[in-house]
């Protein structure tokens, strides 16, 4: 069976977490402090307590429009654009994507909402044929087996014709394997070792070449 599609997570895989962390942990609390005329620490404490009331198992957690409405804030698009300088693409990403797209269809499969994704991958978007957001497109809080199955159906491919890479053990490594998609865990901190664990995208590229050689034997 020929490998046809390589699926990428975004944050922690292609870009750092800095942009989203800045938006959720600093920019929104700062905006709320300005609106309410309170100090930043008090605003941050309140905003974080509201985050916890919802929790990451609810779809609202990922929806910046929901939070702006909840906090009485306006113009979330402007806030996101103001912080695009925080988007940091990992240095090897450009070259690896440029090489892989010569032989495979590349797609994005992310837990980020589309409002974030459109900005996060703008510099590398041309490498990808399709962009999928678990919360925006499938109303799923995480990349579940349902998300992977639906993507396979949409692309009209069998699970074993796809490889996925990401930095989350459960949602990027285990979930795709449960339906037969080959997966790699990207551990940039080098805390884990294993045959299907890589520490950067260059190593992943080498693994893909090895996998292709095995398939062609």
- CB 205 within 8 Å of CB 93: no
87 alpha carbon, distance to own chain's centre: 13
> Exposed, middle or buried, 217 (CB in 10 Å: 0-12/13-18/19+)?
exposed
The pLDDT score that the predictor gives to residue 217 is: 64
Q: What is the pTM of this model?
A: 0.94
Q: Where are the beta strands (DSSP E) in the chain?
A: 5-8, 105-110, 130-133, 162-166, 182-186, 197-198
Do residues 50 and 146 share a domain?
A: no
Do residues 100 and 60 share a domain?
A: no
Do residues 75 and 179 share a domain?
A: no
CA distances from 205 to 93, 123, 174 (A): 10, 20, 20
| Number of domain units in the chain | 2
Do residues 136 and 186 share a domain?
A: yes
Do residues 45 and 73 share a domain?
A: yes
Do residues 11 and 37 share a domain?
A: no
Query: With a cut of 50, which residues of the chain have pLDDT below it?
Result: none
- CB 6 within 8 Å of CB 166: no
Residue labelled with tokens 């994005």? 108
Domain that holds residue 72: 18-85
Residue labelled with tokens 């837990």? 111
Q: Which of 52, 85, 118 is the last residue of a domain?
A: 85
Do residues 70 and 158 share a domain?
A: no
Q: Which of 85, 107, 127 is the last residue of a domain?
A: 85
Kindly state the tokens that stand for 77. Answer: 């698009």
Do residues 112 and 143 share a domain?
A: yes
Taking alpha carbons only, the member of 198, 173, 194 closest to residue 186 is: 198
Taking alpha carbons only, the member of 168, 136, 135, 162 closest to residue 148 is: 162
**DSSP bridge partners of 130:** 107
Do residues 114 and 167 share a domain?
A: yes
Distance between CA atoms of 43 and 32, rounded to whole angstroms? 6
Distance between CA atoms of 213 and 3, rounded to whole angstroms? 11
Do residues 187 and 105 share a domain?
A: yes
CB under 8 Å to 199, separation ≥6 — which residues? 186, 187, 188, 190
Q: At 202, which CATH number?
A: 3.40.50.1000
Kindly state the tokens that stand for 145. Answer: 């087996």
């Amino acid at each position: 069976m020929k490998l046809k599609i390589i699926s990428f997570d975004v944050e922690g895989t292609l870009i750092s977490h800095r942009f989203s962390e800045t938006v959720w942990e600093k920019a929104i609390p700062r905006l709320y402090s300005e609106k309410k005329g309170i100090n930043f620490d008090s605003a941050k404490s309140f905003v974080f307590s509201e985050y916890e009331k919802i929790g990451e198992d609810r779809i609202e957690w990922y929806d910046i429009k929901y939070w702006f409405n909840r906090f009485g804030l306006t113009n979330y698009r402007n806030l996101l654009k103001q912080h695009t300088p925080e988007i940091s693409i990992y240095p090897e990403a450009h070259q690896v994507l440029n090489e892989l797209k010569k032989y495979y269809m590349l797609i994005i499969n992310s837990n980020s909402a589309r409002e974030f994704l459109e900005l996060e991958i703008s510099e590398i978007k041309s490498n990808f044929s399709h962009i999928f957001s678990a919360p925006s497109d499938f109303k799923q809080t995480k990349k579940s087996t349902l998300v992977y199955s639906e993507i396979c159906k949409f692309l009209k491919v069998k699970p074993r014709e796809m490889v996925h890479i990401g930095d989350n053990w459960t949602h990027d490594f285990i979930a795709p394997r449960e339906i037969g998609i080959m997966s790699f865990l990207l551990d940039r901190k080098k805390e884990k070792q294993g045959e299907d664990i890589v520490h950067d995208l260059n190593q992943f590229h080498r693994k893909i070449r090895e996998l292709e050689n095995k398939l062609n034997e």
